[in-house]
Structure 1
C-alpha cells in the first residue's frame, strides 16, 4: 500500500505582491490548521513536502527563499510553518506544484499516492495542483481550514470544483488522519 504526503503550498512567502493585503487575513486563519497538520505529519513519519514559488529567485536551495521571507514584515506568518530539517523542498515557477518540478518523480520514490494539500492560494495554486494530481491518478485531500484565499467566493467555488470534478476529499484539519 502506498502512502501519504503532506504538501505545503507557497507558505514561505514575503507577501510583497499584488493581492497580498487581501490574502493576509485568510493566511492568519489558515495558520492553526497548517501548524496542526505539520505537527501530526511529523509525529507520524509522513513526508512533508514544501512546494513553493521562487518569487523570481532562481536558487537551488530553499534557504535563501526562507531567509528572505523570515526577514520580511510578515515573518510571523512564516516562522510557525517553516520547514524543519526533515522537510523536503521543491521550488516551482508557476501555479501547479507539478508544473516543471520533480514532484511526480519524488512522490514515486516515496511511494506516495495520496496528497494532503494545505497552503495558498485556494482558488489558484491549490486548485491547479489538485487538478494536476487528479490527472496523475493520485488521491487528493484538501484541508479547508488550512488553505488561504484571496477571494472567498472563488475559494468556495474552487473547493466545490475540486470535490465534484476531481474527487478530492475536502476535510477540516481535525479530521485528517496520518498513517506513516
Structure 2
C-alpha cells in the first residue's frame, strides 16, 4: 500500500477485545486451549499508544465483546467453538467480559460493546465517530485475523483511514496473524511500527 500520512487532528484509538476472556490465563479462551501468553504481549504497546493519545487529547475507544448466550446471541465464533458456550465466553456483566485490570478505561475514555466480530456491526461506534468528527482510526487489540480485521474492513467500507501499529495487535496462531497482515498490507490498512506511530502522534506536525 502506498505511503499515507497520519493526520492526528481527526484521529481516534480503538482498543479491541482487551478483556479477561482473551488475555487472562483464567479466561475462557485459555480454558479451551488457546495461548493467552501471546495475547498478553500487546499490553505494553497499547498502553504506550493510549498514553500518547491522551497527551494529544485524542479520543480513546475501547471495544468490549459481550455474549448473551441465548439462541439469538450466539455468533459464528460460538458455533465454531461450542465449548465457549459452556465456559460462558464473555457473558454479559461477567469477569470474563471485563477489560483487563492492567489497562482499564479512564473516565474520559469511551466503551462500545459489540456481540459480533466487527466493532461496527449493530453498535453505536459509527455514530460516536461521527459525533467526534473522526476520519482516521488507529486500530489495536485482539485477535488480528478475526475481530481486528473485521473492524478494519468495515472501517474502510465507511471511508475511514486506518492505521495498524504492528506490535499492538495479536492473535493466537502466528500463521493466522501473518495472513491478516498480508491482507492489511495489500490494501486494507496502513501498517506501521508502534515507534513510528508514537512519533507521528507526539512529534509530527501536520502541514
Q: When the two structures are superposed, what TM-score results if normalisation uses the length of structure 1?
A: 0.83
How many Å apart are 1:175 and its aligned residue? Answer: 1.2
Between the two structures, name the one with larger relative contact order (CA 8 Å, sep ≥ 6). 1
Hey, which bits of structure 1, 4+ residues long, moved more than 6 A?
A: none
Return the match for 1:53 from 65, 74, 98: 65
Relative to structure 1, the CA distance from residue 20 to residue 86 in structure 2 (aligned partners, 3 Å threshold; closer, same or farther) is farther
Counterpart CA distance in 2 for 1:17 and 1:56 is 17
Change (3 A) 1:26 1:35: same
Larger Rg computed on CA atoms:
2
The reply to whether residue 82 of structure 1 matches residue 104 of structure 2 is yes
C-alpha distance in 2, partners of 1:50/1:12?
Answer: 10
- Partner secondary structure for residue 41 of structure 1: helix
Q: Secondary structure at the match of 2:102?
A: helix
**Who is 2:11 aligned against?**
4
Quote the offset at 1:151 in angstroms.
1.4
Per the normalisation by structure 2, the TM-score is 0.73
1:16 aligned to 2:39?
Answer: no
How far is the alpha carbon of 1:154 from its aligned partner?
Answer: 1.2
Report the CA distance between 1:23 and its aligned residue. 3.9
Matches within 5 A, 1:121-132: 121-132=143-154
Q: Deviation string for 1:7-26 (max 9, x for gaps)?
A: 00010233213776434122
SS of alignment partner, residue 68 of structure 1? coil
Q: Distance in 1 between matches of 2:149 and 2:55?
A: 27
Distance 1:165 1:19 in 2: 35
Shift of 1:172: 1.7
157 and 102 in structure 1: CA distance in 2 versus 1, 3 angstrom threshold? same
User: Unaligned 5+ residue runs, structure 2?
Assistant: 1-6, 22-26, 71-91, 203-207
Match of 1:146 among 150, 154, 168: 168
Q: Which of 139, 142, 167 lines up with 1:117 in the alignment?
A: 139
Compare the two structures and name the one with the higher strand fraction: 1
The equivalent of 1:61 in structure 2 is none
Structure 1, unpaired ranges of 5+: 59-63
CA RMSD of aligned residues (A): 2.5
Paired residue for 2:195?
Answer: 174
Distance of 2:132 and 2:180 partners within structure 1: 28
1:42 aligns with 2:54: yes
1:68 is matched with: 95
